[in-house]
Amino acid sequence: LPSILEEKSEGPLSETEIQELERQLNVLSNHCAHLGCPVRWMPEEGGILCPCHGGIYDINGNHTGGPPPHGLWRYVSQIREDGRIFVKHEFYVEQKGRTKPGIYTKPYVV
């Protein structure tokens, strides 16, 4: 967790704090880039694992092993001043490959 969050418990976030948080934040799809199974964080292995066919990703969602063709999908997100994360109904994948329609939930506010 970014240190800002530990120090700060209330009050609006400043511009620099938002930038700092956004830099450290990944909003990843929980759907494996292989065949869409729900992935999970494995604390012992320090990676994200898909239980269906063994796709493995690192903490940033980059593909490190198994059958997936690319890393996890990332959602377009913003951090608002009140500390909420706004996730857009839009995603991208940081790789040369073309983007595919993913399966994801409606836009939601965390």
Partner 1 sequence: MASRITAQTRRWGRDLADWMEERTGIVSITGKLLYEPMPRRGRLLYTLGSATLFLITLQFLTGILLLFNYAPTTDHAWDSIYYIMTNVYFGKLIRGIHFWSANALIVVIGLHMVRTFLSGSYKRPREMNWVVGVLLIVIVTVMAFSGYALRWDQEGFWAWEVGAMIASYTPLIGNWAITALLGGDTAGPATLSRVFALHVWLLPAALAPLIGIHLYLLRKHGEFGATFEYAERLAALRKRRQMEETFGSAEEVGSGNATDTGYSERARDEQRIVEIRHAPRERVEEGEIVTKEDVFDRYDEPQGFFPGQVVVDLTVSAILLAIVVVLSYAVPAPLTEPMDVSTTVYVPRPEWFFFFLDQWLVYFPGSVLIAIGDVIVPFLFVLLLLAIPWLDKEPAHSPARRPFVVVVGFLVILVIVLNMLLTLVRIANFPGGTPAG
Binding site for partner 1 (CB under 8 A): 30-31, 34-41, 51-54, 66-70, 97, 100-106
Going by C-alpha positions, the residue among 89, 35, 94 that lies closest to residue 61 is 94
| 66 vs 83, beta carbon nearer partner 1 | 66
Find the shortest distance in angstroms from Cβ 97 to partner 1.
6
What is the C-alpha separation between 76 and 90, in angstroms, rounded?
A: 6
Find the shortest distance in angstroms from Cβ 87 to partner 1.
11
| 22 vs 90, beta carbon nearer partner 1 | 90
Find the shortest distance in angstroms from Cβ 44 to partner 1.
14
